[in-house]
């Protein structure tokens, strides 16, 4: 089977409903950024971090595919869509709170860096924020599943806390902003 179809050679692609749209469509930017985030989450999970972090990151990747699917739908489709549920959001909150409880209090803004894996967690955080902004921008012009926006918002907080947690676990000094 060939992976290429040549149907996108003129700058258009199909949404899950079959509707053809320009590749510059806000909807594509939103779910494309979620897809990009998933790739970077996969990269983060390939580093030398705890198995519990790796397992949770894999779970996040699955939820990101659910979020991307929801963003890839403009109209009704004839199949069941995955969901981002309140339980998914609560799971992110619970993990964030658990990691945060083990960390020293913040005294300054934390700069990305100090260690490759710590910086990679910050890359995930910033791409997640971009995905959230893209979803919000899309929601200004057409309906967007609100749970996706909430999920992305909580997820960026998780990546921030994860970066701090990994630094703490590895004994890496956090880089603090000094105005």
% of the chain at pLDDT higher than 70: 97
105-132: burial string, b at 16+ Cβ within 10 Å, e else: eeeeebeeebbebbbbbbbbbebbbbbb
Does residue 4 fall inside a structural domain? Answer: no
The better pLDDT of the pair 1, 55 is held by 55
Mean of pLDDT over the chain: 93
Residues 6 or more apart in contact with residue 43 via CB below 8 angstroms: 120
Does residue 132 fall inside a structural domain? Answer: yes
Each residue of 46-80: pLDDT tens digit? 999 999 999 999 999 999 999 999 999 876 666 78
Does residue 66 fall inside a structural domain? Answer: yes
> 18: phi > 0 → left, psi -120 to 50 → alpha, else beta; which?
left
Each residue of 138-162: pLDDT tens digit? 999 999 999 999 999 999 999 999 9
At 77 the pLDDT is: 63
**Which residue range forms the structural domain that includes residue 137?**
22-73+80-176
Q: Evaluate if residue 100 carries a pLDDT over 80.
A: yes
At 78 the pLDDT is: 64
Structural contact between residues 137 and 26, judged by C-beta atoms closer than 8 angstroms = yes
d(CA 40, CA 78): 31
At 20 the pLDDT is: 84
Tally of structural domains, the chain: 1
Look up the CATH number of the domain holding residue 35: 1.20.1200.10
Confidence of residue 17 (pLDDT cuts 50, 70, 90): confident
Does residue 60 fall inside a structural domain? Answer: yes
Task: Report the pLDDT averaged over residues 41-49.
Answer: 98
d(CA 156, CA 162): 10
Q: Evaluate if residue 120 carries a pLDDT over 70.
A: yes
């Amino acid at each position: 089977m060939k992976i290429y179809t040549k149907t996108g050679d003129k700058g258009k692609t199909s949404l899950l409903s079959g509707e053809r749209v320009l590749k510059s469509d806000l909807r594509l930017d939103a779910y494309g950024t979620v897809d990009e985030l998933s790739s970077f989450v996969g990269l983060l999970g390939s580093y030398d971090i705890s198995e519990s972090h790796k397992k949770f990151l894999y779970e996040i990747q699955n939820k990101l595919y659910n979020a991307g699917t929801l963003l890839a739908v403009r109209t009704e489709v004839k199949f069941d869509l995955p969901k981002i549920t309140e339980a998914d959001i609560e799971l992110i909150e619970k993990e964030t709170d658990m990691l945060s409880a083990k960390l020293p209090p913040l005294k300054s803004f934390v700069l990305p860096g100090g260690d490759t894996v710590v910086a990679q967690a910050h890359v995930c955080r910033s791409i997640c924020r971009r995905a959230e902004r893209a979803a919000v921008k899309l929601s200004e012009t057409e309906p967007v599943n609100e749970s996706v926006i909430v999920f992305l918002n909580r997820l960026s907080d998780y990546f921030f806390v994860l970066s701090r947690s990994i630094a703490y676990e590895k004994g890496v000094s956090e880089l603090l902003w000094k105005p």
